[in-house]
Chain A
Amino acid sequence: MDRARKRLVASLALAGLALAALPAAAHAVPLSPEAGQSPNADDSTTAYWVLLAIAAVIVVAVNAALIVAAVRFRARRGREPARVRAGRRIQLRAAGPLAVVAAAVFVFGIVMTTRVSDVEPSGREGLEASSSRTAQLDLSLPSGGAEPLRILASGQQWLWRYEYPDGTFSYYELVVPVDTTVQLQLESTDVVHRWWIPELGGKFDAVPGRGNQTWFRADEQGTYEGQSAAFSGTGYAAMRARVRAVPVPEYEAWLDQQSNDIQDAQDAVQQRVQELAGAEAAAAGGAQE
């Protein structure tokens, strides 16, 4: 092993060490995506870190090679370029490791996709234990146990509307019980919208005429902010969404309250309509006389 090769190995080892320390350092440096609060978000974040490390190795290696070459082999008096061409096997020897990396990334990608699409059952604090699997469109739900909480999220310019299993609905803010698996059916009434709460997993399109779905399980109470991520017209920048995860009793109380509020509002509207109709009829009767 000659000197140049030793130096190369040493620098590669150093680069490797630096990369091993990268995830730890990156939490200090703001290179991490928003902290996951749902199992699928956690898995996506893991995949992100692994791929970021691979990408960093590639970028560092390429740039180091370019810089070393540019500095070391600058034209100088008396330097004769070596007119070297590739030997026979060298391309295969270079392609081999690349193919291994590509295959590994592909397999890793499929494994992680399956994990993210596996709907996990609700936890013990949750509304009702449930489980199943899905790859968004092909979500596969956990076998046995109770169904997850199914909520219909419908995008419209420029607001999300959520419909709960009992027919109650809300706008902008989705209230869910904590530690409960929520299966979100996505649909759109006008243009393409993209559901996204960064802390609760990936983003998925709501396309008119095409159903789509995703899931999450908020592990901790709190308010999670997000924003639609598909351009949908003038009001797009204001198309925000919020998920509030609350304890089960609070969720049930909120649902009752919301249901009553809607009923009251509808009654009030109905009453007002009847009043107006009555007044109109009276006015019409008065006019006839």
Chain B
Amino acid sequence: MSTPPTAIFPPRPEVVTDGYPERRPAWVQLATSGDHKAVGLLYVGAALSFLVLAVCELVLMRVQLIVPENTMISAEIFDQLMSAYGATAVVLFAVPLALGLMGYVVPLQIGARGTAFPRLGALSFWLYLAGGITLYASFLYRPPDAGTNPLPPLSDTAFSPTAGVDAWIVGVGLATLGFVLFAINLLTTIHTQRAPGMAWRRMPLFSWAATVSGYVVIVAGAVMVAACAMLLIDRQFDGVFFDAGEGGSPILWQHLSWFFFTGTYVVVLLFAFGAISEILPTFSGKPIFSHRAIARCFVAVGPLGLLAWMQNMYTAPIPIGWTYFAMAAAVALTIPVGLLIFNWVATIWNGSLRLRAPLLFALGAISTIAFGLAGELTYSVIPVGWLLDSTTIAQADTYYALVGGAVLGGFAALHYWFPKLTGRLMGEGLARASFWTILVGVHVMAIGMALAGLDGQPVDIYRYYDGDDLGTYNLVASVGTFVLAAGILLTLGNAAYSARRGVRAGADPWRGSTLEWFALSPPPPHNFDVIPDVRGTEPLRDIRDAVDRRSAVVEQPHREPARQAGPPVA
């Protein structure tokens, strides 16, 4: 028995327990845990499963639209696919993927041992899953068919008497309630459990994005939970909230639901922005160009994005002043988003770029989101909105932003943090193949949809009549969608394979500079044995330097300190 080197490590107090807890099967542990890592994994797993469903629905709809006047799928079934698809893609995939990764990574990034309300976190996941199951259980009797956003009066019992619409309302309401509880837990954790020394100004940018997203989810999500309850009361208990004949207002639902859906859009984009702001510095070997400016841009994007909800209602009978208000908020977004892109480009400029999968996806996300948000700027101008709203060109634009944010941005985050989640790297070859397939697919799809929209094809139709080359454009859009779907499935396959068979990754495979890479991969239940003091925005880099200095085994070249500089293009 050797004596411990007491000179280096002073004796520590130890906790002696009365034996180990029983070892339970892994899935029971995962399902019953309130640990943020277990909840995060469940969120990510469920979100990616719902992504498969969304992709299937999208592909089926695009198959129907390949040729004019197709009779393969009936109007009823197409409407059901469409109604389920909208809720699945946004509420069951995009938002929970963002929240799941935030829930996993943020406590690690801020040096916390857990979350403030572990059981609330677990409850939020089960509410979300219950929502998803409620929606999909309706496929056993009668799926919803009142559209991607079921506007009253169409979603009232008079016009949609089937229970599928109730399943949509309850499903979306439950999932959204889960998101609100999740955000409460996340925000409380961020506010109260940051590591010593981690002031707001030193908090990693992904955690900043998560903070702003959390507030957006609470504000917009609470509104949607209320709206779903009101619509359910209208349908089941003779309520008149949205009933024009009884003093209610159908427009009210449009305000409430668009407020929420705009919020989901903002959350997805902020999530992608946060992940990009972590990935670019790590893979270019440079510090982020301006930590403070980017954090401030996030804070600006949240409220401005939410306030632009009436951008979806330009054609509704609302006073013109309200649409000016929405246009002002939407156009103002140009400033923070433009600054973000400027800071990102400045971060990689003069860097030494390791073009690994996370960086590839992050660059693709910026490019695709730029298409989406430039288009969004176009529609925010009211007459252009009147012209192109609810045509497939507007839809193409939404796809750009959501594929850029949730798929490319989400996959960038997935590839980046996958070693932390599983202890293994995702296959690089498959990742590259998936990236280029998705990028080609989204552009081909969007070009076809844009051209069809300019020729006057509205969204949500299950068939169209040939004329003005609509057949050709839809064929192009469908082919693009299939390519996109193939690319998405490649990454999902890669993740499923790599989770068990991937190359083992150490604690810090990318040489990151934030604290999640200080923990083991995957981290133990308590995250960190020792929580380090934080002295800057790159705490792990500081630790690495301190270790280098102390060990002094190899003479380290003097590190050039970060210096102030002018424009990066000089």
What 1/0 flags go to A242-272 for Cβ under 8 Å of B?
0000000000000000000000000000000
Q: How far is the CA of A6 from the CA of B48 in the complex (A)?
A: 47
Contact A79 B352 (CB under 8 A): yes
Contact B341 A138 (CB under 8 A): no
Contact B391 A229 (CB under 8 A): yes
Q: Chain B interface: which of A159-167, A170-178, A207-215, A274-282? A: A207-215
Contact B569 A237 (CB under 8 A): no
Contact B293 A190 (CB under 8 A): no
Complex interface residues of chain A between 37 and 80 (CB less than 8 A to chain B): 40-41, 43-45, 47-48, 51-52, 54-56, 58-59, 62-63, 65-66, 69-70, 73-76, 79-80
Contact A69 B345 (CB under 8 A): yes
Indicate if B75 sits at the interface (CB-CB under 8 A): yes
- With A84-B562, A113-B382 in contact, do A205 and B316 touch (Cβ < 8 Å)? yes
Indicate if A154 sits at the interface (CB-CB under 8 A): no
Indicate if B335 sits at the interface (CB-CB under 8 A): yes
In the complex, what residues of B have CB within 8 A of residue A4's CB? 569-570
Q: Chain B interface: which of A14-22, A96-104, A120-128, A142-150? A: A96-104
Contact B363 A138 (CB under 8 A): no
Q: How far is the CA of A229 from the CA of B316 in the complex (A)?
A: 12
Contact B378 A51 (CB under 8 A): yes
Contact B76 A210 (CB under 8 A): no
Contact B151 A192 (CB under 8 A): yes
Indicate if B456 sits at the interface (CB-CB under 8 A): yes
- With A116-B386, A230-B390 in contact, do A34 and B76 touch (Cβ < 8 Å)? no
Q: How far is the CA of A135 from the CA of B386 in the complex (A)?
A: 11
Minimal beta-carbon separation of A118 from chain B (angstroms): 12
Q: How far is the CA of A31 from the CA of B454 in the complex (A)?
A: 7
- With A84-B562, A205-B315, A234-B79 in contact, do A112 and B460 touch (Cβ < 8 Å)? no
Contact A98 B388 (CB under 8 A): no
Contact A75 B315 (CB under 8 A): no
Q: How far is the CA of A194 from the CA of B461 in the complex (A)?
A: 13
Indicate if B324 sits at the interface (CB-CB under 8 A): yes
Size category of the binding interface on chain B: 35 or more
In the complex, what residues of A have CB within 8 A of residue B285's CB? 75, 81
In the complex, what residues of A have CB within 8 A of residue B339's CB? 91, 94-95, 98
In the complex, what residues of A have CB within 8 A of residue B566's CB? 87, 90
In the complex, what residues of B have CB within 8 A of residue A41's CB? 387
- With A47-B384, A90-B566 in contact, do A109 and B286 touch (Cβ < 8 Å)? no
Indicate if B429 sits at the interface (CB-CB under 8 A): no
In the complex, what residues of B have CB within 8 A of residue A56's CB? 374
Indicate if B25 sits at the interface (CB-CB under 8 A): no
What 1/0 flags go to B356-374 for Cβ under 8 Å of A?
0000000100110011001
Contact A83 B286 (CB under 8 A): yes
Contact B567 A90 (CB under 8 A): yes
- With A51-B378, A106-B327 in contact, do A87 and B355 touch (Cβ < 8 Å)? no
Contact B378 A191 (CB under 8 A): no
Indicate if A204 sits at the interface (CB-CB under 8 A): yes
Indicate if B32 sits at the interface (CB-CB under 8 A): no
- With A48-B384, A85-B563, A194-B315 in contact, do A208 and B334 touch (Cβ < 8 Å)? no
In the complex, what residues of A have CB within 8 A of residue B320's CB? 113, 117, 135-138
Contact B159 A202 (CB under 8 A): no
Contact B151 A191 (CB under 8 A): yes
Contact A81 B335 (CB under 8 A): no
Contact B455 A30 (CB under 8 A): yes
In the complex, what residues of B have CB within 8 A of residue A112's CB? 381-383
Complex interface residues of chain B between 299 and 337 (CB less than 8 A to chain A): 315-320, 323-324, 327-328, 331-332, 334-335
In the complex, what residues of A have CB within 8 A of residue B463's CB? 237
Minimal beta-carbon separation of B369 from chain A (angstroms): 9
Contact partner of A81 (CB less than 8 A), chosen from B284, B334, B387, is B284
Contact partner of A86 (CB less than 8 A), chosen from B293, B323, B328, B375, is B293
Q: Which residue of A lies closest to B372 (CB)?
A: A59
Q: Chain A interface: which of B131-139, B244-252, B416-424? A: B244-252
Q: How far is the CA of A55 from the CA of B568 in the complex (A)?
A: 24
Contact B354 A230 (CB under 8 A): no
In the complex, what residues of A have CB within 8 A of residue B380's CB? 105, 109
Contact A234 B353 (CB under 8 A): no
Indicate if B497 sits at the interface (CB-CB under 8 A): no
In the complex, what residues of B have CB within 8 A of residue A108's CB? 381
Q: How far is the CA of A235 from the CA of B463 in the complex (A)?
A: 11
Q: How far is the CA of A112 from the CA of B284 in the complex (A)?
A: 44
- With A198-B456, A201-B386, A237-B75 in contact, do A69 and B348 touch (Cβ < 8 Å)? yes
Interface centre among B145, B151, B160 (most CB of A within 10 A): B151
Contact B289 A81 (CB under 8 A): no
Q: Which residue of B lies closest to A51 (CB)?
A: B378
Q: How far is the CA of A161 from the CA of B37 in the complex (A)?
A: 59
Contact A66 B367 (CB under 8 A): yes
Complex interface residues of chain B between 56 and 89 (CB less than 8 A to chain A): 75-76, 79, 82
- With A84-B563, A207-B244 in contact, do A196 and B458 touch (Cβ < 8 Å)? yes
Contact A30 B451 (CB under 8 A): yes
Residues of B with Cβ closer than 8 Å to A? 75-76, 79, 82, 145-148, 151, 153-154, 159-160, 244-245, 249-251, 284-290, 293, 315-320, 323-324, 327-328, 331-332, 334-335, 338-339, 341-343, 345-346, 348-355, 363, 366-367, 370-371, 374-375, 377-378, 380-391, 451, 454-456, 458-464, 469, 560-570
New A-B pairs, 7, CB < 8 Å, besides A43-B383, A95-B335, A235-B75? A30-B455, A47-B384, A58-B377, A85-B287, A94-B339, A110-B324, A116-B383
22 pairs across A/B with beta carbons < 8 Å? Answer: A4-B569, A5-B570, A34-B456, A45-B387, A48-B387, A51-B384, A63-B370, A69-B348, A74-B355, A81-B285, A87-B565, A91-B293, A108-B381, A109-B381, A112-B382, A136-B315, A136-B386, A138-B319, A204-B315, A204-B386, A233-B79, A237-B462
